[in-house]
Chain A
């Protein structure tokens, strides 16, 4: 049996909220509760569901930006606790808003160089930056440009290049396509497919667009109201949806126009 790259058991996480008067004891509002799943190395898993269902919070919890209330996240069999989290950078998250995730005062070369290993000479670092730009199919001339001078799709690619520079094993992309036009969506899909095969990357994709999900994912999870209500191989989920919500989602997307 293949050892799973990431396994999640009974994960519950949320945000503190203070109801009523100021100073009252903080209450806890879980946004994801009791989520369990496992991802094999090299797999692409997509999480789909209505907005506000907890997809982004799940991504944040996996990447270590949101502290779980309970549950266990295991990466390569090892428990990710507070100390380990963040340190190995083996899990990289690409945020929904690619433009907002880039420092506007840092040119593209510097942005990617920051994520490269620290002990490199200037020359080696430049080589690395070029290498990662090439990997995401961006031309070398962009190295001196600033984020404001790039298109949305290019910014998204820079974010991917920067994440790759940290040599991750698992890449989480939070709605990488929603702000992009159709052509860029399709090009990004192709890029991810390509990276998946050449870099042996494991991907977690959070998306609304079922067409891209179908073309990219090996497995799909449906998240609604904080629960993982379905987790199946893509072909199975698209042909035999079990829950009413999945059926409704598939029907609404009209995959066969």
Chain B
């Protein structure tokens, strides 16, 4: 049974000049304890997809399709749920760590105060219980000296520490699903590894499901068991992470893994693919303008979803074997 089930989720931005599709018809299901990574280039809709899951889309954005939660505390559709339901779900069932960590922490409140506010909204505790809960929470995200962190303002902490405070905040309501949006971009190698280790441990100990948005294939390799690759709003390929990185079918995923391998082996990378272009075609395959193996049919027909062995799915007319 799936904890989170998404069917045909589409996010549109409506303006005077017409509407633009930012995420188009994505379906996925997340079983309890799953670790899903979402990869794709900047602007491909990864963040919008995640924000749609907690219904935190900016003004003027609309979503269609179905988002269904099946948890012990709540089951039902949330794609058009009212504010009351959403308030219950956010933090309690789905926790969210935003991309821009410094902006998601209040600069004028000490970390301890911010965290206890979050704990207090999700649980009814006495003062002493609250203090213990706060300390336990900070220890659980890897702080050895929680009292020091409670007493610190966000700006007094390093990037890695702020990240862990934000993580603690997302975990304060004991959610069953945690969404982490690009956690490692501003972190050094040690802080990156510690974060991934921490998430892995959390998943093992509490059965948490995690959706992680990342550019770093090392994160995917070390953490995720499932990978979804997005391009121009579409899920172009998905499947078990190790298998997908090893043998990608879609030409975009191939470019991505080839680039990563070139870096790993310290070799130059020269793809035989055209440059990035802003123009995503209205019909046909969305990757056609950059695809090295395009043919006539790619310009005219959008490729259907192909399901292959081992739970792999991809959208391409001429996949590589």
Report which A residues bind B (CB closer than 8 A): 48-52, 137, 139, 149-154, 178-187, 189-190, 193, 208-212, 214-215, 248-250, 252-257
Contact = CB atoms under 8 A, between A and B. Distances in A.
Contacts of B40: 181
B247 interface: no
A186 B186 contact: no
B255 A214 contact: no
Given A51-B158, A212-B263, A249 B186 contact: no
A211 B259 CA distance: 11
Given A151-B276, A183-B41, A255-B264, A51 B186 contact: yes
Given A249-B189, A253-B189, A181 B42 contact: yes
B278 A151 contact: yes
Contact of B260 (A182, A190, A249, A253): A182
Nearest to A211: B263
A29 B260 CA distance: 40
B269 interface: yes
A255 B222 CA distance: 13
Interface string B257-271: 001101110101111
A215 B191 contact: no
Contacts of A182: 215-217, 256, 259-260
Contact of A154 (B255, B263, B276): B276
A51 B201 CA distance: 24
Interface residues of B, number: 38
A183 to B, nearest CB: 5
Contact of A183 (B187, B191, B218, B259): B259
B256 A183 contact: yes
Contacts of A252: 189-190, 192-194
A151 B158 contact: no
7 nearest interchain CB pairs?
A51-B159, A252-B193, A253-B189, A186-B259, A252-B189, A211-B263, A181-B41
Given A182-B260, A211-B264, A249 B158 contact: no
B144 interface: no
B103 to A, nearest CB: 13
A74 B189 CA distance: 32
B129 to A, nearest CB: 34
B156 to A, nearest CB: 10
B292 to A, nearest CB: 13
A50 B190 contact: yes
6 contacts: A51-B158, A137-B275, A183-B259, A184-B276, A211-B263, A215-B263
Contacts of B160: 50-51
B49 to A, nearest CB: 16
Nearest to A249: B189
A212 B262 CA distance: 10
B7 interface: no
A6 B262 CA distance: 32
Contacts of A154: 276
Contacts of A190: 268-270
B190 A52 contact: no
B295 interface: no
Nearest to B42: A152
Contacts of B221: 257
A43 to B, nearest CB: 18
Contact of A208 (B189, B262, B270): B189
Contact of A254 (B187, B218, B256, B275): B218
A52 B263 contact: no
A139 B289 CA distance: 15
Contacts of B256: 182-183
B153 to A, nearest CB: 14
A257 B42 contact: no
A224 to B, nearest CB: 10
Given A151-B42, A181-B40, A184-B41, A49 B276 contact: no
B263 A186 contact: yes
B185 interface: yes
Contacts of A185: 215, 259, 263
Given A51-B191, A257-B221, 10 more contacts: A137-B275, A152-B43, A179-B185, A181-B215, A184-B41, A185-B259, A185-B263, A186-B262, A250-B189, A254-B193
Contact of B187 (A48, A139, A208): A208
Given A208-B187, A249-B190, A153 B158 contact: no
B188 interface: yes
B263 A248 contact: no
A249 B192 CA distance: 10
Contacts of A52: 158-159
Contacts of A257: 218, 221, 264
A243 to B, nearest CB: 13
A49 B215 contact: no
**Residue of A149, A180, A181, A187 most packed against chain B (CB within 10 A):** A181
A153 B276 contact: yes
Contacts of A179: 42, 185
Interface in B143-190: 158-160, 185-190
